[in-house]
Structure 1
Amino acid sequence: MVMAILASSSPSCYTSKAFLLSQRSFFFSTISSKPSSSFFLKPTSRFFASSSPTSLRYSPTPSPPTNVIQILEQRGLLDSITSDNLRSASLSPLKVYCGFDPTAQSLHLGNLLGLIVLSWFRRCGHSTVALIGGATARIGDPSGKSLERPELDLQTLEANTLGITNIITKILGNSGSDSDFCPNFLILNNYDWWKEFRFLDFLKDVGRFARVGSMIAKESVRRRLESEQGMSYTEFTYQLLQGYDFLHLYQNEGVSVQIGGSDQWGNITAGTELIRKRLPQADGVYGLTFPLLLKSDGTKFGKSEDGAIWLSPSMLSPYKFYQYFFSVPDADVVRFLRILTFLDIEEIQDLESQMTKPGYVPNTVQRRLAEEVTRFVHGENGLSEALKATEALKPGAETKLDWKTIEGIAEDVPCCSLEYDQVLNLSVVDLSVTTGLLESKSAARRLLKQGGLYLNNGRVDSESKRVEAVDVIDGKVLLLSAGKKNKVVVRIS
């Protein structure tokens, strides 16, 4: 499957107004429920499709870009580069790629930095490629792994590929204002060139240029070889497959820069080395890594008590995604504003200074972080949904609750189902125990006296309060809250 996508994004791009208006006349094909062999924008005179559906070419010569390397460095998004020459090379338009293996139906927070760095390149006038690892996902990247990945069946791989493609399309396609334009982005699948690659050809074209000593010296390989589990030959060849991907993209798509997390350094340099050996005349091929997403205490950022922080709204609601960032500790919030948002550094510094001033309202900066990251991942509609649910579910809020809002967060909070006759005229104290919100009636009465028991966000002031027909929202649900965080949704049947 090969997919080519062009989209707008970013306030830092340069183009004429006429060009902007012309590109608005483009339209996307509809993504089918089954992975298609091609998916690309229908061209006008400004763009033209090649004879092969693998790519769309950007015909106008873009304006000189801003130095993206300086931006990444300033924001803490630069870990290593294979050559300092990339700094000067980035003053001219480049083509950059980042790989994403479809090992799940959604990308997660750990993958977000790759999309952010790609977006910075686009915002600075460079073209970008998102490479879906339909082939490499069958092998499994040993980087950072203590065990070999379980093998995925073809049906699962196809579903994962489609899910991740949709996420990348949405995030890169909608990340920016309507009045701005960035160079095209392209989505490809490496299975398209690996599926016909014969083993003998692989040995001749790739294997003979690899040196076992160098491969073993890679940190990801060395750690696994020293472990009790060891490493299979299959995993050992992963760096060669990723290295060839870079060679293929360099020769066929004009890609000269590969980016990835710091744990990808060995795989990325395998690609630059292969290109150098296969094509001695090649010049201007670079690798760049960004730091892994870590908290101030050195632990990985991106895991919650329930597992990964997914980027797909079907696996994690925009409301819960927003709440995750709203809960970031003060020690991390400013750094995350730098690396996870596109706010100006000056604005971030101003937000940081506000945190130390008298009268600062706690979590104000966290709220801005949550808004910016949720908008980037879920768009304006997703952010609106998250903000509406956040406000409506705040105990004591005056926002009128409706059934749709309650159902929108039902997957994120405990739920139970009761019949209408069971609930009507039942005391709120008894209901709190029946639903499991509180352990006992005494605990419910104690919380009520402290002013912490709520029915549909209204404080319950009396032990005699009973559920009335008017309390059942749209005749379908109730929302009980014990303090600000503990809630339960009661579905009425």
Structure 2
Amino acid sequence: MTVSTEESVTSAPAANVWDELTWRNLISASTDETALKQMLGAGPVTYYIGFDPTAPSLHIGHLVQILTMRRLQQAGHRPLALVGGATGLIGDPRPTAERVLNSPEVVAGWVDKLRAQIEPFLDFTGPNAATMVNNLDWTSGMSAIEFLRDMGKHFRVGKMLSKDAVSARLNSDAGISYTEFSYQILQSMDYLELNRRHGCTLQLGGSDQWGNLTAGIDLIHRVRPEQSVHAMSTPLITKADGSKFGKSEGGAIWLDPTMTSPYAFFQFWVNAEDAKIVDYLKVFTFRTAEEIAELAESAATRPQAREAQRALAREMTTLVHGELAATRVEEASKALFGGGDLSGLDEGTLGDALAELPKAQLPRGEHSVIDLLVATGLSKSKSEARRTLSDGGGYVNNAKVTGGEAATVSTSDLLHDRWILVRRGRRQLAAVELVGE
């Protein structure tokens, strides 16, 4: 993953960051709004966001936190990015069922992967340099007795039971183990320890983490009552129908290019709903209000052009995968629909693009275009395929089929000696892979 950090130090005054976050709809809840706004405007604030390694990659839902962390650093504040080598061994309770516990070796490997994904978004130089931290550093040496005596005594079970996920689990057949029930104490310890070690006075997280965020504040108030600390949460990003944002038919949209290809990543943003595109531009991009207003106007008056979606896709793919990858997948996206040269695409990018299409495998050799249309499902029958060709609606590798129902393809037509792109009309695409000797 490649991220440019050239703009990481900007001329935006720290006093403006609260207004900026508010305009971008990035504040769901906070402790004392007046005091927090004043604190952010008064000078550098050390803040932290935690990420648990419960998978080998972060997904685009995590980008809300990562980019918020970046915005605050650009405004002059000091970020602590915590990857939870300890909390990742436990897992935050889900409302539905117990998590599968991963081995320490697996979690340690995931810690390294998540660090590598987060670090490019931050600047580790200068007066407000970022710091990466791991909560395993202050929990691995703690005994069970120390945990219960020094930390457990500050928590009231009644309040812990009121947390939404815990309450849901208690009222389900799955129940909840003491292991996951204790997660809230571990996350609260993180805030206390970062306050002690780094002077951290602000914790950020998603709105679903509000109970954990405030538990950390309560712990600091009990142990270090002289400290003034705050919490702020970002809203859950949703689709227009209220469903969870960040999923496709294949599952989560991951930041790791081996789990979600740059092409699939790009296409996810291109397919963003018109009704939500302005919200996504505010939350995920660094475009100005004027630039977003222009794209909003385009989305309202020329929705078929999808200029706003393409701007979003280009910026997000560049942020996460680098400018070269963004250029390649943008070219591939255009080429698939006849707007570019398919033969000029490198094999990896072409393969990623075709992987998103309906596919069929046929033995190497000569095949009729009619067979390709039927095999890929673009035509339901050979008679329907014949009508498509007679109407001039059949394309192979973006070239219109002119030979009628007698048209064929062979190995000489293959892209990278493997693929054939078949198109029916303007938008119906499929890929054929010729295999064998």
Structure 1 length-normalised TM: 0.81
Structure-2 change in CA distance of 1:115 and 1:102 (3 Å): same
Partner deviation per Cα, 1:61-89 (whole Å, 9 max, x = no partner)? xx962432211111100001112211011
Q: Is the 8 A contact 1:220 1:266 kept in 2?
A: no
Rate the CA distance shift 1:403–1:465 in 2: closer, same or farther, 3 A: farther
Is the counterpart of residue 293 in structure 1 residue 237 in structure 2?
Answer: yes
1:225 matched to 2:176:
no
Note closer, same or farther for the CA distance 1:427–1:481 as it changes in structure 2 (3 Å cut). same
CA shift for structure 1 position 10: 5.9
Aligned mates of 1:77, 1:431 — CA distance in 2: 49
Measure how far apart 1:290 and its partner are. 0.3
Q: 1:249 to 1:331 in 2, by over 3 A?
A: same
Q: Which residue pairs with 1:475 in the alignment? A: 417
Shift of 1:223: 2.6
Contact (CA 8 Å) 2:298, 2:307: kept in 1 or not? no
d(CA) in 2 for partners of 1:403, 1:369: 24
Q: 1:271 aligns with which of 216, 219, 222?
A: 216
For residue 303 of structure 1, the aligned residue among 244, 247, 257 is 247
Q: How does 1:326-405 map to 2 (within 5 A)?
A: 326-357=270-301, 361-395=304-338, 397-398=340-341, 400-402=343-345, 404=347, 405=349
Distance, in Å, in 1 between the alignment partners of 2:89 and 2:272 is 35
Q: Which moved more, 1:69-78 or 1:133-142?
A: 133-142
User: Which secondary structure does the structure 1 equivalent of 2:141 belong to?
Assistant: coil
| Paired AA for residue 432 in structure 1 | L
Match of 2:429 in 1: 486
Deviation, 1:279, is: 0.6
Structure 1 CA distance for aligned equivalents of residues 4 and 371 of structure 2:
55
Q: 1:432 is matched with which residue: 370, 373, 390?
A: 373
3-state secondary structure, aligned to 1:487: strand
Runs of at least 5 residues in structure 2 that lack an aligned partner in the other structure? none
CA deviation profile, 1:73-114 (whole Å, cap 9, x unmatched):
111000011122110111211111111111111111221111
2:95–2:166 Cα contact (<8 Å) kept: no
Q: d(CA) in 2 for partners of 1:110 and 1:163?
A: 17
Tell me which moved more, 474-483 or 118-127: 474-483
Question: 28, 53, 57: which one pairs with 1:106?
Answer: 57
The alpha-carbon distance between structure 1 residues 181 and 467, as it changes in their structure 2 partners (threshold 3 A), is farther
Offset at 1:147?
A: 0.8
Give per-residue Cα distances to partners, 1:210-239, cap 9 Å, x unaligned. Answer: 122222223332232233322221111111
2:4–2:121: 8 Å Cα contact kept in structure 1? no
| Residue number in structure 1 paired with 2:132 | 187
- Superposition map of 1:11-160 within 5 A: 11=7, 13-14=9-10, 65-84=14-33, 85-91=35-41, 92-142=43-93, 144-160=94-110
Check 1:235–1:469 CA distance in 2 against 1; reply closer, same or farther (3 A cut): closer
Deviations 1:413-457 (A, max 9, x none): 34455454x2x3x22112333455544322322333444422112
1:291 and 1:349 map into 2 onto residues whose CA distance is 22
Deviations along 1:234-259, one digit per CA (max 9) or x if unpaired, are: 11111110000111111112221110
TM-score normalized with structure 2 length: 0.90
Distance 2:422 2:122 in 1: 39
Aligned pair 1:214/2:159, yes or no?
A: yes
Which residue is 2:118 aligned to?
A: 168
Deviation, structure 1 residue 401: 4.1
Closer/same/farther in 2, CA of residues 246 and 459 from structure 1, 3 Å limit: same
Aligned twin of 1:18? none
1:280 — aligned with what?
225
Q: CA deviation at 1:361?
A: 4.2
Deviates more, 1:107-116 or 1:426-435: 426-435
**In 1: Cα distance, 2:39 partner to 2:390 partner:** 67
Q: 2:16, 2:295 → 1: CA distance?
A: 25
Residue 454 of structure 1 is aligned with which of 377, 395, 411? Answer: 395
The letter for the 2-side match of 1:145 is P
Report the 3-state secondary structure (helix = DSSP H, G, I; strand = E; otherwise coil) of the residue aligned with 1:356: helix
> Are 1:9 and 1:181, in contact at CA under 8 Å, matched by a contact in 2?
no
Go from structure 1 to structure 2 and tell me whether the alpha carbon gap of 1:446 and 1:346 turns closer, same or farther (over 3 Å shift): same
The answer on whether the counterparts of 2:95 and 2:164 sit within 8 Å (CA) in structure 1 is no
SS at match of 1:107: coil
Distance 1:186 1:485 in 2: 48
In structure 1, the partner of 2:206 is: 261
C-alpha distance in structure 2 between counterparts of 1:452 and 1:267, whole Å: 58
Distance 1:103 1:261, change over 3 A: same
Q: Deviations over 1:336-358 (max 9, x none)?
A: 1111111111211222123333x
CA RMSD in angstroms comes to 2.5
How far is the alpha carbon of 1:14 from its aligned partner? 4.3
* CA distance 1:14–1:473, shift in 2 (3 Å): closer
The code of the aligned residue for 1:193 comes to W
- Give percent identity, aligned residues only: 38
Contact 1:8 1:173 in 2 (8 A): no
Q: Distance in 2 between matches of 1:87 and 1:166?
A: 31
Check the 8 A contact 1:68/1:90 in 2, yes or no: yes
Q: What secondary structure is seen at the aligned counterpart in 2 of 1:242?
A: helix
Letter in 2 for 1:67: N
Distance in 2 (alpha carbons) for counterparts of 1:431 and 1:108: 36
Higher alpha-carbon deviation: 63-72 or 372-381: 63-72
Q: Judge conservation of contact 1:8–1:184 (CA < 8 Å) in 2.
A: no
> 1:492 deviation in Å?
4.9
Give 1:466 shift. Answer: 1.6
In the aligned structure 2, how far is the partner of 1:398 from the partner of 1:386?
A: 13
Mapped contact 2:76–2:128 kept (Cα < 8 A): yes
Relative to structure 1, is the Cα distance of residues 320 and 360 closer, same or farther in structure 2, using a 3 angstrom cutoff? Answer: closer
